[in-house]
Structure 1
């Protein structure tokens, strides 16, 4: 089948939660686009973002590396982009970075000159911008390269991603849902407590987790609405299936609805399936919720963001739960599905309940089974 005629799946997600389905979809005859958050405020992305005032690239880089893995790309460029600095002494990390930035690492030495030159240019651009006191420990070389490309191409993240994909020979697309640099995520809990920052919401303490999230908001630094990335809008226009999840509901999935222009673009595509993929387990963000409640919250935000009378989801996929008690895996309970059929009927969504858990990893999706279920829904 010609590339242009392959079904196009757009996957709104976070990072690690959708790794298995991303890998499985790469082996199917589909075109895949990942849309990732642009409000990551933790880890090494936070340090780079705060130091340079650029868009957080960690989720972008991670998704691109997952694409590379799924597509069987394991060349030297991918190995460099997937490398991480030592977490030991600060000076050791600086020495290790220099090995890359000065072209003395064996992986770089054996590359053809064009590839090697491009990577060195981006690493040196990053080093010049970050200054002499930056702590490289546990940093991702891929993050440094992608940030350097971002800076080198006039802070155009889409161009930087395009170049990064070409360097790694990745066919799939990855875009942040907005190209604005200074987007922040916040939440209000059910008791009125306000939580600022994505990293704080994903790490709620036990008391706040039990209280639960009432609402979330996205804001740009100037207080204006957060505009959608034009590359995402274009992807939505050509999509055959638009998929939400799996991933952290309040930080990686639902916030995409709050990006100005995303919901209207989905509404305009009357052809595409709109699929909500339920997680397997509750998490700190969703303790006490079930899949039906998550769908209801998403539907409410959908309507507020321009969904009008269009149903938010054509299908909801959820893992089967058959026990009459709350089963747990580690610290978290499995997400219940008892009320899902009624919620689906009210919202006009077909509910598909199946055996979607990985038999080898409790609480994780079986990517192949989930990918096959999605493929069966394609128009």
Structure 2
């Protein structure tokens, strides 16, 4: 166990706080995450044992995989990471909605003929596919209505291979609600009894861009992440939001008031593991995020990714932290100290101690090394992380 000081001495994990949260998760702490991708999903699944009140601001700037196909077809934000987090936080017990969960999590085959895939989607819309017919009314009709909206707008030649049905439902809801994500995210949350709040950090169709240390500029998340393009071979110097062609002014994209209120309510703020720029920092770029974080007097914790992050090429721990701080400081103003924006870094004990020491000496942010990862793989122990986060409240 490790003892740190926030406003009191804490023992991590704090067994009393953990037990209290586990006995009454509906009263659990409001832990706010800025994230995207799937790196946090395992921790999220464990966290719902202790709190039904976690809050997740998710990047909608993904430009790869099936999300990109939807973005190109409908000129909309990316929804794949939002759906993935909704499913991670859904009530998966028999008291939840397992039939709805199964439909939302279903993917069409990667290799089947397009005509066959279109027929599968048509059967869902008609209520004749086993996955939709298993769902009772009126939930079934609501889902069919959203899928019908998708079908009415889908362009000819749409590629259904590997499409997530949940993503298609989100797209239909987006199109039928005035091209807004929030209403359909709310509806889907209720349909699968999500144990928390999941929102896009902004409800806008934008892209992520980066400037590299060698002077090059890259726009599009899929070209940055190294998942669908060769890994970048120069360190990232800064990142920004783009309309797809050029950089947008920091003031051009504002954090919605509803999301600022989430930050104002947070008991703990967490910058979680995930791709440094496209999953974490992307959420910190809208105007107002830094100001809202700086004024909230709660623990603000960074959990750096384990293993190799292609987006953190050449980044020591202090470089990762400074990359997180850069957009927050720019927004919060020169009076904001580093510790107003990030109070603690929690690292696995495998991280060299000198990197922790360097971070604290250069930023004043406390850094703590402790056993956090699974013994058999380079991943955080989800339950251990959940218990630590609950203990910070």
TM-score, normalized by length of structure 2?
Answer: 0.86
Retained in 1: the 8 A contact 2:31–2:389?
Answer: no
Whether the 8 Å contact between 1:81 and 1:140 is mirrored in structure 2 is: yes
1:285 aligns with 2:311: yes
Q: In structure 1, what is the Cα distance between the partners aligned to 2:92 and 2:356? A: 32
Closer, same or farther: CA 71–64 of 1 in aligned 2, 3 Å: farther
Query: How far did residue 198 of structure 1 move?
Result: 0.4
Q: Please name the residue that 2:11 is paired with.
A: none
Using the alignment, how far apart are the partners of 2:26 and 2:300 within structure 1? 21
Q: Deviations over 1:50-92 (max 9, x none)?
A: 1111121111001101111677745111100000111122122
Instruction: Flag the structure with more relative contact order, 1 or 2, with Cα contacts below 8 A and sequence separation at least 6.
Output: 2
SS at match of 2:345: strand
> In the aligned structure 2, how far is the partner of 1:171 from the partner of 1:266?
23
* Alignment-derived partner of residue 260 in structure 2: 233
Asked whether 1:304 is paired with 2:330, we answer yes
- Measure the CA separation in 2 of the matches of 1:95 and 1:16: 30
**d(CA) in 1 for partners of 2:228 and 2:114?**
30
After superposition, residues 192-271 of structure 1 pair within 5 angstroms as: 192-203=215-226, 209-220=232-243, 223=248, 225-270=252-297
Q: Does 1:179 align with 2:195?
A: no
* Equivalent in 348, 352, 365 of residue 349 of structure 1: 365
Please state whether the residue corresponding to 1:154 is helix, strand or coil.
Answer: coil
Q: How far does residue 176 in structure 1 lie from its aligned partner after superposition?
A: 0.9
The TM-score normalised by the length of structure 1 is 0.89
Alignment partners' CA distance in 1, 2:230 and 2:196: 41
Partner secondary structure for residue 17 of structure 1: coil
Contact 1:9/1:30 (8 A) holds in 2: no
Q: Is the 8 A contact 2:281 2:324 kept in 1?
A: yes
Indicate if the aligned counterparts of 1:204 and 1:285 stay in contact, CA closer than 8 A. Answer: no
The answer to whether structure 1 residue 159 and structure 2 residue 183 are counterparts is yes
Q: Distance in 1 between matches of 2:127 and 2:344?
A: 50
Gaps of 5+ in 1: 322-334
Q: Which runs of 5+ in 2 are unaligned?
A: 1-22
| Residues 1:27 and 1:320: Cα distance change in structure 2 (over 3 Å) | same
Segments of 4+ moved more than 4 angstroms? 1-5, 69-74, 204-208
Tell me if structure 2 keeps the 8 A contact 1:103–1:120.
yes
CA distance in 1 between counterparts of 2:137 and 2:163 reads: 25
Shift of 1:227: 1.6
1:77 aligns with 2:100: yes
Residue 374 in 1 paired to residue 389 in 2?
Answer: yes
**CA deviation after TM superposition for structure 1 residue 345, in Å:** 4.3
2:160 equivalent in structure 1? 136
Secondary structure at the residue paired with 2:274?
Answer: coil
Give the Cα separation in 1 of the matches to 2:60 and 2:330.
21
Structure 1 pair 205–59 and aligned structure 2 pair: CA distance change class (3 A): closer
SS in 2 for 1:60: helix
SS of the aligned residue for 1:79 comes to helix
C-alpha offsets along residues 207-246 of structure 1, whole Å, 9 cap, x if unaligned? 8634211111113469452221333211111000010011
CA contact (8 A) 1:38 1:56 kept: yes
Deviation at 1:266, TM superposition (A): 1.1
Q: Does 1:316 align with 2:345?
A: yes
Could you tell which deviates more after superposition, 187-196 or 27-36?
27-36
Give the match's secondary structure for 1:317. strand
Structure 2 equivalent of residue 276 of structure 1? 302
1:242 & 1:93 partners in 2: Cα distance? 42
Deviation string 1:342-374 (CA, Å, 9 cap, x unpaired) is 3224423221211111123x2211111112222
The secondary structure found in structure 1 opposite 2:108 is coil
Aligned partner of 1:339 in structure 2 is 355
Per-residue CA deviations over 1:182-221 (Å, capped at 9, x if unaligned) read 2111111111111110010001899863421111111346
Q: CA deviation at 1:97?
A: 1.2
Identify which range, 4-13 or 19-28, moves more after superposition: 4-13
Identify if the C-alpha distance between structure 1 residues 236 and 217 changes in structure 2 by more than 3 Å, giving closer, same or farther. Answer: same
Deviations 1:286-330 (A, max 9, x none): 123222220122223321222532322111111112xxxxxxxxx
Give the root-mean-square deviation of aligned CA atoms.
Answer: 2.3
Q: Which of 1, 4, 7 in structure 1 is aligned with 2:29?
A: 7
Give the paired residue count.
Answer: 362
The 1:44/1:207 distance shift into structure 2, 3 A limit, reads closer
